[in-house]
Homo-oligomer: A and B are copies of this chain.
Amino acid sequence: MNLACSTCPVNETAACAVLTTDERDAMAAAGRTRVLKRGEMLFAAGDEDAACATLLTGALKVSAVDADGNEQILALVHPAGFIGELFAPFAHHDVVALTESRLCTFARRDIERAIEDYPALARALLRRSQADLLATRTLLELTGHASAEARLAALLHDFAAAASDSSCHLAQRFDLPLTRGEIANMLGLTIETVSRKLGELEDTGAIQREGKRGIIIRNAELLQDISGR
């Protein structure tokens, strides 16, 4: 299927936004859209020639599985995010859909050629890569020293910020994109601890739970305070 960049929901914000219309059309001819259902995998660790992709809608997780079969979530990908290890001979991590997701995928060699042909694209991907690096380091900072409660508070804060339209304030209410188990894997905790600490955050009045996935921010300042930032 061919792509219609003009109706793409992230045509202003994704890496391809820096291309001219003609250049973008040329890339579109090489790309394909793909839809993943929750739990479906885009590629697995070890895959050779793993595709690259821009996420249009939905959410993905990047995760590693250690020797004991424990999963560790290393990053979340939001719309306009770019996925793909451009210079590695094989993928180092799994990439799985958290919700139904639409992607715009490209074969590795097509992306590699595009980077050669369109310097602006290389710069855009560099920018995105540095942003990803910063996000990963922020997560590393969090899981390094902070208490379970602080980690959870920080994650909720981030989710509330991500769920808001404007980038400067928090959403008052949102649904967790992750299960308890996934939150635990991301923060280096266990399911039980996540559940308990969510209860404690509710007791202190920072948040309120609404069903299994819903979170209402009751006291954003307190939440930020607990997160230690």
Contact = CB atoms under 8 A, between A and B. Distances in A.
A123 B116 CA distance: 8
Interface stretch (A6-14, A83-91, A101-109, A167-175): A83-91
B144 A188 contact: yes
Interface stretch (A22-30, A64-72, A158-166, A201-209): A64-72
A119 to B, nearest CB: 4
Nearest to A139: B140
Question: DSSP majority for the A interface?
Answer: helix
Interface in A109-136: 115-116, 119, 122-123, 125-127, 129-134, 136
A3 interface: no
A56 to B, nearest CB: 22
Nearest to A122: B122
A212 interface: no
B141 A72 contact: yes
Interface residues of A, number: 42
Contacts of A66: 141, 145-146, 228-229
* Count of this chain's copies in the oligomeric assembly: 2
Interface centre among A85, A136, A137, A229 (most CB of B within 10 A): A137
A77 B92 CA distance: 21
Contacts of A72: 140-141, 144-145
A2 to B, nearest CB: 27
A165 B141 CA distance: 31
A28 to B, nearest CB: 22
Given A67-B229, A130-B87, A130-B129, A143 B143 contact: yes
A133 B140 contact: no
B87 A143 contact: no
The 5 closest A-B pairs by CB, nearest first: A119-B119, A144-B188, A129-B129, A126-B126, A122-B122
Interface of A: 62, 64, 66-68, 70, 72, 74-75, 85-88, 92-93, 115-116, 119, 122-123, 125-127, 129-134, 136-137, 139-141, 143-146, 185, 188, 228-229
